[in-house]
């Protein structure tokens, strides 16, 4: 793992610094030791078994969909919103690290870290960018990072832990959150009779950030994606678990023009 990134990590047991140890480990001065996977990510879940996160199939589907450029507008908007930041950018629930890699490409002064629970995602994230590392940890627990040391936190369709995000972000740091708008993937929701975004859920999630963060800007991003049959199946598979269905049961005319509608909210710590 990139040494500059390791310097930002903290031992999940005693909160001391971590350094590369012998035989593919990270060690703290008190002797707590954590394995580095062959692919280069570190497991810092420290016995706290996180949610297993996305499965290998979900991760492969997402990686392919992102690589086709359908969500490139999200990466671009995140990179714009990170302009001028220096230090560490952490992508929480960052999956394969594809959005983070674009942010790092645009900003050579940033280092990056993907935090995720999913091993299949981390295997890819560990190789997403030279200036990025990847660690396994539970986004609902304590992140293996120091207090007020992170410059940028990214959260794209992933768990949002307001109190913990506040603890790790610098006072001048920024939190960038991407969430779906109610009409995101509207044609699929209507055509396949899927559940739409629950507005009450969105309000609850906003309330979780509210005591810790002030909203400083909101951008609505909208575009149309022309999806072939396999991509329709992929985007359905990437959605909430209630959407998962056998590809054979997806019966829509393709190629299909599908609305993408997301919001990029930027918050500053209170
Ligand atoms: C919908 S995916 C989004 C992935 C990535 N942000 C992107 O946009 O490509 C949600 C991600 O959050 C991860 N995740 C879910 N629950 C988590 C948890 N409790 N702790 C850490 N990661 C979690 C999943 O493994 C998955 O990679
Ligand atoms: Zn320790």
pLDDT in tens, 57-68: 889 988 999 999
Cβ-based neighbour number of residue 177 at 10 Å? 24
State the average pLDDT for the chain: 91
Closest listed ligand to the CA of 19: 2
Residue 50: its pLDDT value, please? Answer: 67
Question: What are the tokens at 210?
Answer: 């509210």
- Please give the number of the atom of ligand 1 that sits closest to the Cα of 138: 20
Ligand 1 touching residue 265 (CB < 6 A): no
Percentage of residues of the chain with pLDDT beyond 90: 73
Cβ-based neighbour number of residue 53 at 10 Å? 21
Quote the ligand 1 centre to 178 CA distance (angstroms): 12
Reply yes or no on whether the pLDDT at 38 is more than 70.
Answer: yes
Residue in the structure block whose two tokens are 């009779």: 193
198 pLDDT tier (thresholds 50, 70, 90)? low
Ligand 1 touching residue 156 (CB < 6 A): yes
Residue 23: its pLDDT value, please? Answer: 85
> What is the rounded CA–CA span in Å between residue 15 and residue 150?
15
Evaluate if pTM is beyond 0.85: yes
Ligand 1 touching residue 93 (CB < 6 A): yes
In three-state form (DSSP H/G/I as H, E/B as E, the rest C), the secondary structure along 1-69 is CCHHHHCCEECCCCCCECEECCCCEEECCCCCEEEECCCCCEECCCCCCCCCCCCHHHHHHHHHHHHCC
Arithmetic mean of pLDDT, 188-206: 72
52 pLDDT tier (thresholds 50, 70, 90)? confident
Domains of the chain: 47-269 (3.40.50.150)
> What is the rounded CA–CA span in Å between residue 250 and residue 120?
26
Quote the ligand 2 centre to 27 CA distance (angstroms): 7
> What is the rounded CA–CA span in Å between residue 223 and residue 170?
33
């Amino acid at each position: 793992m990139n040494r500059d990134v390791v310097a930002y990590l903290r031992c999940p047991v005693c909160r001391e610094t971590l350094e590369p140890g012998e035989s593919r480990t990270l060690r703290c001065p008190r002797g707590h030791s954590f394995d580095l996977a062959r692919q280069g990510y570190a497991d810092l879940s420290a016995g706290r078994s996180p949610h297993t996160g996305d499965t290998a199939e979900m991760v492969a589907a997402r990686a392919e969909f992102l690589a086709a450029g359908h969500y490139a507008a999200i990466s671009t908007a995140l990179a714009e919103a990170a302009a001028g930041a220096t230090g560490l950018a952490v992508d929480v629930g960052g999956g394969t690290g594809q959005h983070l890699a674009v942010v790092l490409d645009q900003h050579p002064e940033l280092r990056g870290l993907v935090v995720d629970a999913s091993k299949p995602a981390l295997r890819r994230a560990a190789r997403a960018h030279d200036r990025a590392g990847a660690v396994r940890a539970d986004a609902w627990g304590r992140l293996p990072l120091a207090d007020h040391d992170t410059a940028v936190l990214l959260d794209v369709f992933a768990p949002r832990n307001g109190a913990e995000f506040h603890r790790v972000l610098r006072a001048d740091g920024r939190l960038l959150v991407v969430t779906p708008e109610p009409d995101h993937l509207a044609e699929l929701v209507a055509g396949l009779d899927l559940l739409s975004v629950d507005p009450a859920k969105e309000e609850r999630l906003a309330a979780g950030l509210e005591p810790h963060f002030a909203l400083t800007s909101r951008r609505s991003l909208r575009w149309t994606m022309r999806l072939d049959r396999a991509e329709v199946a992929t985007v359905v598979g990437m959605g909430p678990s209630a959407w998962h269905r056998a590809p054979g049961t997806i019966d829509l005319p393709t190629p299909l023009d599908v609305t993408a509608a997301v919001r990029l909210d930027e918050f500053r710590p209170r």
